Amino acid sequence: MKTGLLLILSCLVFLLGCSKKENAISPTPNNNSDISISAITLPDMFQFGTIRNDSIIFNLPYGSDLSNMRMMVSAPGLDVSIANGVYVNYNQVKSLTAKFGNKEKKYSIVFNIPTKADVAVRGVWITNVASSALSSVQNISDCVDKLDDLGFNTAYVVVYNKSQTLFPSTVLKKVLNASSESDVQIYPGWDPLQTFIDKAHAKGIKVIAWFEYGFASHYAGQPSPLITLHPDWASKDNMGNITAKNSFYWLNGIHPEVQKFMLDLFSEVVQKYAVDGVQGDDRLPAMPINGGYEPYTLNLYKSETGRGTPSSDTDADWMQWRADKLTTFAGKLYHAIKNIRQNCIVAFAPTPYGWGYKNYLQAWDKWLELGYVDLISPQLYRNESQGVSSYTALIDTDISQVLSKNISYKSKYFPGILARSGNYMPSNDYLYACLKCNRSKGIMGESLFFYEGIENNRLVYKALYPGKAIFPF
């Protein structure tokens, strides 16, 4: 991966150099017989050409459009038939000539483009937090158009957070003792989910209903109607306080009534809407490592294991028992959805392997092993300041520790990449390096968090997603 990063950095230096020298007087070659070009790129495609004898070879993604592309050529002292930075129709231009005096060398330009589309998920999370993408029909239309334009084929649309739903929910109305479904909607008075499905399906984009809060009750400072109305649903830490981690307060994901609430909510969406799938994330199935100390869970633990209250959150048996309960719930959810509609995808976007088990008791390798998941997108969210290696290390861990166990796992694996968090958005070069890392590992797609960041990296998506991938499920 260091080589890939050096290539990108070298490309940047080369392009800057070319742009500065376009109108400058080029030096004379050291040897008049040497009229070879030294380097050539397609900057909008982030591509270096391979110069082999009298050929220049570019390997481009499926769907690449040759009709309006620009090249940057490094050929000191030579006259080159293609001007740097000028957009040309390369369906018609198939060669390049370099001249020095009365000598010249002609190169054929070869573009290798696959004739078949990739089979992959290329997805984006769409949320109502720090985004107005779902707040009106026009905004939804604009959102779908952008996803289509940038080559995405999957939208993870938030349908549940902050004790509210994107759609009119009978299940949530009942649980919260609300007067009407509109009272528990994020945007009351209309149905944004149905609108999104209609517009996305018209563009061939799959819609996966994302239950963002899952087993979390509320964020610090937000209302907490679920725990207020159902205090026995709250998860407790070993001090008797409501379990909190990273400013989120949690429900007890092992409690049967909490599980039923989630199963009913997921099922309601699949029964009412033509969603292509449903998704839990880092909060479902999940429990913070400091949770599970309420009487119900401790009594169940004692009855099943003969052990008393654990002395530590990280007691190995206690951790494994709670993780197994969450894995069992993943199976319940999987089978509940498949019983409603067999072709509905069950997806999860858990925390990174290893760290997720130690912090949220998520054993997603077991979910794969037991066949409880169709699409897995671990949240490999790394900031550019951490370096590309911090992302590639997570990919390598997933491959060596999980995906290598069964050849079928990689076809379900489309990792989550951070496109925006607060004011942070990655540079084109960093994001390109992450996506190229995926391709180098045989991972043909990914999931981007979140929608409000994708415009920032338009060039990357246009370069790597020029033709829409075939959805694999």
**Residue 360 confidence (pLDDT) above 90:** yes
3-state helix, strand, coil in the chain (%, to 5): 40, 20, 40
Position 239 scores a pLDDT of 97
Residue 117 within a domain: no
Boundary (domain end) residue, out of 112, 143, 176: 112
Cβ atoms of 263 and 332 closer than 8 Å: yes
* Domain boundary, last residue among 78, 112, 146: 112
Last residue of a domain, one of 112, 142, 173: 112
Same domain for 134 and 43: no
- Whole-number pLDDT of residue 8: 43
| pLDDT exceeds 70 at position 27 | no
> How far apart are the C-alpha atoms of 471 and 264, rounded to whole Å?
27
Question: Is residue 35 in some structural domain?
Answer: yes
- Residue range 50-64, pLDDT digits in tens: 999 999 999 999 999
Structural domain includes residue 471: no
Cα 69 from Cα 83, distance rounded (Å):
12
Cα separation, 214 vs 221, whole angstroms: 18
Q: Indicate whether 245 belongs to any domain.
A: yes
Question: For residue 23, is it within any domain?
Answer: yes
Report how far residue 216's alpha carbon sits from residue 233's, in angstroms, rounded to the nearest whole number. Answer: 11
158 plus 264 within the same structural domain: yes
Mark whether 130 and 80 lie in a shared domain: no
Q: What is the pLDDT of residue 12?
A: 42
CATH number at residue 339: 3.20.20.80
Query: What total number of domains does the chain contain?
Result: 2
Tell me the per-residue pLDDT of 34-52, one tens digit each, with 9 for 90 and over: 688 999 999 999 999 999 9
Instruction: For residue 71, give its domain range.
Output: 2-112
Q: Are residues 379 and 412 in the same domain?
A: yes
Residue 14 lies in a domain: yes
Specify the CATH number for the domain of residue 100. 2.60.40.2340
Whether the link from the prior residue into 426 is cis, omega within 30° of 0, is no
Q: Are residues 92 and 222 in the same domain?
A: no
Average pLDDT over residues 66-79: 95
What 3-state class would DSSP assign to 99?
Answer: strand
Q: Are residues 11 and 70 in the same domain?
A: yes
Q: Mean per-residue pLDDT for 149-162?
A: 98
ω into residue 450 within 30 of 0, thus cis?
yes
Q: pLDDT per residue over 365-413, tens digit each? A: 999 999 999 999 999 999 999 999 999 999 999 999 999 999 999 999 9
Position 306 pLDDT exceeds 90: yes
